[in-house]
């Protein structure tokens, strides 16, 4: 059902409107921020987030954790953006999507290399990365469509 999404007549839309329009992106990004923060905390304390992660180098964990946090926050900020210039929100979201996909790919490759029998874990990482990259592509296509519409309206 292309283009069958939640819309509102409120201008600017509320944060709840943004959440209703993008529940999966917001949910995954919020969870990702919490997961990344947990990973970062685990590198500084004795808190265990995952037995698999406990065996990985702390520098890799810190990098993945930071990318997850910054990427997730950027996606949420982009989705919540109410700037009149839609491109501002898309650029912020895309930055987060790239950082997030990079983190999930690094996580998945590391788990695959260290624990190939943990199929659910490493395939989850690849699937999250793929979802972020598909969303990245979707925002590019939507921007192209919007720019074409704007150009149509500006023709004499």
pLDDT tens by residue, 36-75: 999 999 999 999 888 777 777 889 889 999 999 999 999 9
3 falls within a domain? no
Average pLDDT over residues 149-154: 86
Full residue range of the structural domain in which residue 35 is found: 23-153
Q: Which residue has the higher pLDDT, 54 or 133?
A: 133
| Cα–Cα distance measured from residue 35 to residue 31, given in angstroms and rounded to the nearest whole number | 6
Average pLDDT of the chain, as a whole number = 92
Q: Please state the separation of Cα 79 from the chain's center in Å.
A: 10
Query: What pLDDT score was predicted for residue 15?
Result: 93
Determine, yes or no, domain membership for 115. Answer: yes
Helices (H), 45-118: 51-54, 58-80, 86-114
How many domains, the chain?
1
Per-residue model confidence as pLDDT tens digits over 111-132:
898 889 999 999 999 999 999 9
Domain presence at residue 28: yes
Separation of alpha carbons 103 and 5, rounded Å: 28
Residue 146 in any domain: the answer is: yes
> How many Å separate Cα 50 from the centre of its chain?
21
The alpha carbon of 100 is separated from its chain's Cα centroid by a whole number of angstroms, namely 5
9 pLDDT exceeds 90?
no
Compute the CA torsion angle 108, 110, 111, 116 (nearest 10 deg): 100
In a domain, 18, yes or no: no
Of residues 81, 105, 104, 101, the one with CA closest to residue 91: 81
pLDDT at 76: 98
Cα–Cα nearest to 142, from 100, 94, 71: 94
pLDDT band with cut points at 50, 70 and 90 for residue 33: very high
Q: Please report which confidence band the pLDDT of residue 3 belongs to, taking 50, 70 and 90 as the band edges.
A: low
8 Å CB contact between 74 and 92: yes
Contact between residue 62 and residue 49 where contact means Cβ atoms under 8 Å apart: no
């Amino acid at each position: 059902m292309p283009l069958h999404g939640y819309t509102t007549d409120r201008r600017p839309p509320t944060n709840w409107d943004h959440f209703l329009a993008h529940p999966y992106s917001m949910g995954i990004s919020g969870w990702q921020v919490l997961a990344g923060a947990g990973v970062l905390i685990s590198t500084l304390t004795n808190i265990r987030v995952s037995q698999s992660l406990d065996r990985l180098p702390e520098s890799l964990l810190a990098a993945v954790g930071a990318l997850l946090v910054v990427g997730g926050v950027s996606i949420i900020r982009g989705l919540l953006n109410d700037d009149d210039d839609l491109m501002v929100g898309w650029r912020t979201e895309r930055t987060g999507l790239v950082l997030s996909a990079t983190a999930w790919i690094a996580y998945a490759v590391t788990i695959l290399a260290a624990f190939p029998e943990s199929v659910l874990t490493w395939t989850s990482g690849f699937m999250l990365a793929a979802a972020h990259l598909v969303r990245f592509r979707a925002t590019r296509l939507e921007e192209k469509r919007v720019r074409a519409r704007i150009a149509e309206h500006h023709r004499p």
